[in-house]
Every structure is written in C-alpha cells, then in structure tokens.
C-alpha cells in the first residue's frame, strides 16, 4: 500500500515540477518581451527553438493554445466530463446502472 502511495506521490511531484518549470520559462519569455519587444524576443529565442527541433511558428502556436487552455476556451476536462455524462445517459437508457463512485473512471 505504501509503495502505491509513494509512486503516486513521486508522479505528482514530477508533474508539479514540470508545470512549475513551464511557468518559470514562460515568465522569463514574457520578461524578454517586455524588455525587447515580441519580435526581438522571438528572434533571441530562435536558436534555442532550432536546437529543440522547433520553429518560431510552432512556439507561437504553443503560446496561443496554452493561453486558450488557461482561459478555458479549450477545456479537455469539460469535454471529458460531457462525454462521461453522455455515455452514462446512453448506458442508463440501455438498462445499465452506475454508482456515483464509478463514473469518473469512464
């Protein structure tokens, strides 16, 4: 049991480190924009993007999508919940029963 908790804790820490690291990097990029302007900041970042196999365009796409996820314009969680509810309605209509505890794992 404790191994399972340890594994989950490690996975959570790893996920949080990734999220925090991404936030830190985006903050640094935003500081570059404020200091140099958007075009210059992107030009400064371009060699790093190339080394990672990315382009200025792919980075702009990432920023645009990230912002839409953060503001809720794109919500995988909302879509997942809607899909679960729709599946539950269909299955209930077919005679299946669900407990509230088991509906989140669909």
The upper half-sphere exposure of residue 57, i.e. CA atoms within 13 Å in the direction of its Cβ, equals: 0
For 53-75, the three-class secondary structure string (H helix, E strand, C coil) is: CCCHHHHHHHHHHHHHHHHCCCC
DSSP 1: -
State the pTM of this model: 0.69
Q: Kindly report, residue by residue over 24-70, the tens digit of the pLDDT.
A: 999 999 999 999 999 999 999 999 999 999 999 999 999 999 999 99
DSSP secondary structure letter of residue 73: S
* Tens-digit pLDDT profile for residues 65-74: 999 999 999 9
* Phi, psi of 72, deg, nearest 5: 90, 0
Taking the C-alpha atoms of residue 83 and residue 89, their distance in angstroms, rounded to an integer, is: 10
């Amino acid at each position: 049991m404790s191994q399972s908790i340890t594994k989950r804790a490690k996975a959570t820490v790893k996920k949080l480190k990734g999220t925090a690291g991404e936030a830190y990097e985006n903050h640094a990029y935003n500081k570059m924009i404020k200091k140099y302007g958007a075009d210059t900041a992107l030009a400064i970042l371009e060699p790093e993007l190339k080394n990672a196999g990315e382009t200025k365009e792919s980075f702009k796409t990432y920023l645009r999508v990230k912002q839409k996820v953060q503001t809720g314009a794109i919500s995988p969680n909302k879509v997942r919940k809607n899909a679960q509810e729709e599946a539950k309605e269909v299955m209930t209509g077919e005679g299946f029963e669900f407990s509230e505890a088991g509906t989140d794992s669909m």
